[in-house]
Amino acid sequence: MRSARATACSNIALVKYWGKRPDTDPDLNLPDVGSLSLTLADLATVTTVTPSDDGQDRFELDGRPLEGRPAERVARHLDRVYRAGGGAGRRPPCRVVSVNHFPTAAGLASSASGFAALSCAAAAAFETDLDAAALSALARQGSGSAARSIFGGFVRLDRGTRPDGRDCVARPVAAPDHWDVRLVVVQTTTGPKAVGSTEGMERCRTTSPYYPAWVETSQADLDAATEAVRARDLDRLGPIMEHSCFKMHAAMMASRPPLLYFRGPTVEAVRTVFDLRQNGLAAYVTIDAGPHVKVLTHARDAAAVAEHLRRVPGVAAVSVHAPGPAARVEVLP
């Protein structure tokens, strides 16, 4: 074993992933729908994996020791990467140091960049020759959205149909410089902690009457959005992106008990974007399993869109992100 450091950027889904494929191995973490995302610059996790010098796993996140369930999740992921790379017997104990370089209070989850960086750093540290597709499949097992953060720019993760998940890997659709768009991240004031994605997805799948419709209509969105990205057509992509987002939230809200991720300022920020559109600006929203709003717009309009959203009561911070690069890794001396 050697030492390696990987950097991976976060991503935002333009066509959403929500729900896991029933009757499949939970450890494979297979999505019930495909998704399309944009990898974001300036929202990176840097993870270093080195041999542990005291014979025990040691994990650290943002300067603090990682313990309990999160630490178990990391250990299990190291086991996966080690085995996938052909490792036999007991995995060598590792020291993992991970740092999230997110602008203060970006209000974004870091599991996508985190598991992508961990997969790449561990694969290099264990001296495997896993390619990007294999790394994406491994990252997906850590967290579904992490499969997409292996690649830069616009990325598509297909649902696949194989029970072993071999056809569920992310692929790049277009490089970061394909299209000069920006994602404006609007952090709204946060309330009590929302229901986590894994639990929320399962509740939605098992109780929401709209879940089957969500799944049935997602493939058409994925295909149409992929074409719109290739054609660099924001006014074609935007309505598909919003439709995917609001269908997902409608299915969430119809769960029992309901999954309501919006706060007041979430709705006000969405309305502001709708108003901007009435006034001729091309800007479209998406919202994940939380209260923040993300707005896709042309680079030339991003500053104006951000300025309007900063004035919405209850908005805490607004940041602007360009398409970001693929995950990268270096072997350390």
Binding site for ligand 2P0 (CB under 6 A): 13, 16-18, 29, 35, 111, 143-145, 197-198, 288-289
Taking the complex as a whole, the smallest distance from the CB of residue 261 to ligand 2P0 amounts, in Å, to: 9
Per the DSSP assignment, residues forming a β-bridge with 154 are 38, 174
* CB nearer to ligand 2P0: pick between 195 and 276: 195
Taking the complex as a whole, the smallest distance from the CB of residue 44 to ligand 2P0 amounts, in Å, to: 17
The residue number whose beta carbon is nearest to ligand 2P0 equals 144
* CB nearer to ligand 2P0: pick between 48 and 197: 197
Taking the complex as a whole, the smallest distance from the CB of residue 16 to ligand 2P0 amounts, in Å, to: 4
Nearest alpha carbon to residue 146 among 120, 115, 109, 102: 115
Taking the complex as a whole, the smallest distance from the CB of residue 303 to ligand 2P0 amounts, in Å, to: 26
* CB nearer to ligand 2P0: pick between 40 and 234: 40
Name the residue type at position 167.
Answer: D
Nearest alpha carbon to residue 109 among 78, 74, 145, 135: 145
**What's the token pair of residue 151?**
């690649």
Nearest alpha carbon to residue 157 among 284, 295, 18: 18
Taking the complex as a whole, the smallest distance from the CB of residue 274 to ligand 2P0 amounts, in Å, to: 21
Residues in Cβ contact with 199 at an 8 Å cutoff, skipping those fewer than 6 apart? none
* CB nearer to ligand 2P0: pick between 77 and 95: 77
Residue labelled with tokens 């014979």: 55
The answer to whether the CB of 183 falls within 8 A of the CB of 38 is yes
* CB nearer to ligand 2P0: pick between 50 and 218: 218
Taking the complex as a whole, the smallest distance from the CB of residue 155 to ligand 2P0 amounts, in Å, to: 11
Helix or strand run (H / E) with residue 81: helix 68-84
* CB nearer to ligand 2P0: pick between 45 and 143: 143
The answer to whether the CB of 251 falls within 8 A of the CB of 211 is yes
